Structure 1
Amino acid sequence: MSARPLTHLRHVDLAVPDYDKQLDFYAGVWGLTKVAEDSGIAFLAAEGSPESYVVRLRKAEEKRLDLVSYGAASREDVDTLAERLLAQGVRLISRPGEADTPGGGYGFRFFDVDGRTIEVSADVGVRRHRKIEERESIPVKLSHVVLNSPDLNRTRQWYERHLGFRLSDTLSSPHLGEVMHFMRISSQHHSMAIAQGPHTALHHISFEMRGLDEYLRGSGRVIRAGFKKVWGPGRHLAGDNTFTYFLDPHGNTVEYTTELECLDEDTWHPHVYDFSRPEVTDQWGTANPMNELIAKESFNDPDRGCFIAPPV
């Protein structure tokens, strides 16, 4: 196994009290496809992605982030990573074994330093997917996930040490210091970012669209459907990607994006961007200005699932 054991982001799993409303949002206006459902659990795929699913919804009494799942190249890499994490004192939830979810596969789960459940799997079946057509404004794939941490640099260092993430860029300001680290496991600018927050929570989940036209059409559809637009449309400097952020029915922030930067890893050096400069948060100047209210929405509710493994 290489120093970088993960290959890509697979799916993000959410638990919510109002399961039906949440499912209607993701499988309706947001544009995902329900591929399986059983006893208050639904698996949702992106039509352009080979992943068996990119979001799992579970009916629960309390809202929480159930887990974040990453891919590994092989079963052998899964076994090697599990043994390495165990030797490093990481708390495993399960040992490597067969998965009973759409696509199956072989994987295991463990807690990160903040108590989130992380899953790593390999040998997952590929879903029959398709090319997203011009003007088809539905997600192509899951792009990235951003996590709130009360100790930004401790979390960054944990992911670098244990899972081989590398720093791409940092957002900082003269008054607040460092507020976000963009982390990668491939040439994609980030598959995860870590944001400074008052508590451990999900910051946002991002979905990639086909192109600029599809991104804007999708953003317009969600706006017209009456869901709260938090921020956008605009274009970030770090990652050079577009953004429009919305709240799902349970207050989780979700993003449409496209054109996320791919890096030359041999020559890339991380930047520190001053996010108090408006051209850093939005190169275009089309988004509503970043302010405390937008930041507060992204703090989300404190995660009730820290160091508590999801039941499924």
Structure 2
Amino acid sequence: MTERLITHLRHVDLAVPDHARQLDFYTGPWGLTPEHSDTGLTFLAAEGSPEQYVVRLRKAAEKRIDLIAFGVATAADVDVLAARLATAGVQLVSEPGALQTPGGGYGFRFFDNEGRTVEISSDVAVRAHRRIEEGESIPVRLSHVVINSAEPEATRAFYEQHLGFALSDTLVHPRMGAMMWFLRVNSWHHSMAIARCPHPSLHHASFEMRGIDEYMRGTGRLLRAGVEKIWGPGRHLAGNNTFSYFLDPSGNTMEYTTELEQVDEDTWHPHLYDFTQPEVSDQWGTANAMNEFVAKRSFNDPDKGLFVAPPV
């Protein structure tokens, strides 16, 4: 098994055609805090997170994932991962060096097997953050990112073999086979998941709330604001976390969640869950049914940024 050096998920960076509408959404009903903004570029922090930002919005002609960022413990770990990837023939976007983004740090970027840009970094300054109070229905942190993949088995193998991700659980369909793989880099059940899809794209990004009450209050705020709900509220079986999925103005699916399971990595054995069983998708039975409408919205638009490094 590949030695795991990645410690956690840092942020997801999105290019969007309508920056102003996206900014209004994320700083308004969604509950993030704008930081370090520039013309057409905004870094959005979660008040409960030590990360400088959890979402970056960049104004662009076409929608895409700019990059997904992960942290490691030391600059030496950055160098080890960069060398490991280069030796394996993975295309580096940038060599290890000083980062020019908020909080600084040391890191590099590379393309994964399908062309997404991934950043690995260490020594990023900690943001002044705070404890989210009872009843405060804003995100505590970025919980996980789920990507759509046209070659999900190869994508899973890439992240396991090169980056030390570990499989937590798999969702299967009795006729279509394996459909989603949950991968972890620490004791959280998943920091990333990979979904089978006709094309690479963002499936969803998920934000952890303080607790059940705050999760429901946030869900209700979005419903009252007229934000389109895709699926939820409910509780998944894999990960045991709650879910409410909404569409942002650019058509990206965003999730409020809480109580994501933490596993004992020494004893954990991955499960195969048949998601045609209602309790797998939603233990509570409160969410709308998982159907073609939900699946199609989760497919998102094909990512236009594959094997194209973001300009920032």
State the TM-score, normalized to the length of structure 2. 0.99
In 1: Cα distance, 2:63 partner to 2:266 partner: 41
In 1: Cα distance, 2:265 partner to 2:285 partner: 29
Q: Which residue of 1 aligns with 2:63?
A: 63
The 5 A counterparts of 1:145-156 are 145-156=145-156
Q: Which residue of 2 aligns with 1:50?
A: 50
In 2: Cα distance, 1:236 partner to 1:151 partner: 24
In 2: Cα distance, 1:258 partner to 1:176 partner: 29
Q: Which amino acid aligns with 1:38?
A: D
Q: Which residue of 2 aligns with 1:236?
A: 236
Please state whether the residue corresponding to 1:216 is helix, strand or coil: helix
The 5 A counterparts of 1:188-203 are 188-203=188-203
Q: Which residue of 1 aligns with 2:140?
A: 140
Q: Which amino acid aligns with 1:202?
A: L
Please state whether the residue corresponding to 2:43 is helix, strand or coil: strand
Q: Which residue of 1 aligns with 2:259?
A: 259
Please state whether the residue corresponding to 2:302 is helix, strand or coil: coil
The 5 A counterparts of 1:72-221 are 72-221=72-221
In 1: Cα distance, 2:175 partner to 2:242 partner: 26
Q: Which residue of 1 aligns with 2:13?
A: 13
Q: Which residue of 1 aligns with 2:299?
A: 299
In 1: Cα distance, 2:266 partner to 2:286 partner: 33
Count how many residue pairs are aligned between Structure 1 and Structure 2: 311
Q: Deviations over 1:124-145 (max 9, x none)?
A: 0000000000000000000000
In 2: Cα distance, 1:238 partner to 1:158 partner: 22
Q: Which amino acid aligns with 1:220?
A: G
Please state whether the residue corresponding to 1:221 is helix, strand or coil: helix
Q: Which amino acid aligns with 2:210?
A: R
In 2: Cα distance, 1:62 partner to 1:195 partner: 22
For residue 102 of structure 1, report the CA deviation from its aligned partner.
1.1
For residue 176 of structure 1, report the CA deviation from its aligned partner.
1.4
In 2: Cα distance, 1:229 partner to 1:36 partner: 30
For residue 173 of structure 1, report the CA deviation from its aligned partner.
1.1
For residue 298 of structure 1, report the CA deviation from its aligned partner.
0.3
Q: Which residue of 1 aligns with 2:32?
A: 32
In 1: Cα distance, 2:160 partner to 2:17 partner: 34
Q: Which amino acid aligns with 1:124?
A: V
In 2: Cα distance, 1:273 partner to 1:154 partner: 21
Q: Deviations over 1:105-163 (max 9, x none)?
A: 10000000010000000000000000000000000000000000011111100100000
In 2: Cα distance, 1:204 partner to 1:219 partner: 16
Please state whether the residue corresponding to 1:202 is helix, strand or coil: strand
For residue 281 of structure 1, report the CA deviation from its aligned partner.
0.1
Q: Deviations over 1:18-59 (max 9, x none)?
A: 000000101111000001111210000000000000000000
In 2: Cα distance, 1:163 partner to 1:265 partner: 17
Q: What percentage of residue pairs aligned between the two structures are identical?
A: 68
Please state whether the residue corresponding to 1:23 is helix, strand or coil: helix
In 1: Cα distance, 2:228 partner to 2:209 partner: 19
For residue 5 of structure 1, report the CA deviation from its aligned partner.
1.3
Q: Which residue of 1 aligns with 2:281?
A: 281
Q: Which amino acid aligns with 1:99?
A: L
For residue 100 of structure 1, report the CA deviation from its aligned partner.
1.1
- Structure 1 gap ranges (5+): none
In 2: Cα distance, 1:249 partner to 1:36 partner: 22
State the TM-score, normalized to the length of structure 1. 0.99
Please state whether the residue corresponding to 1:133 is helix, strand or coil: coil
Q: Deviations over 1:53-109 (max 9, x none)?
A: 000000000011100000011001001110111001000000011111111110000
For residue 300 of structure 1, report the CA deviation from its aligned partner.
0.2
In 2: Cα distance, 1:213 partner to 1:119 partner: 34
Q: CA RMSD in A?
A: 0.6
In 1: Cα distance, 2:150 partner to 2:251 partner: 19
- Structure 2 gap ranges (5+): none
Please state whether the residue corresponding to 1:93 is helix, strand or coil: strand
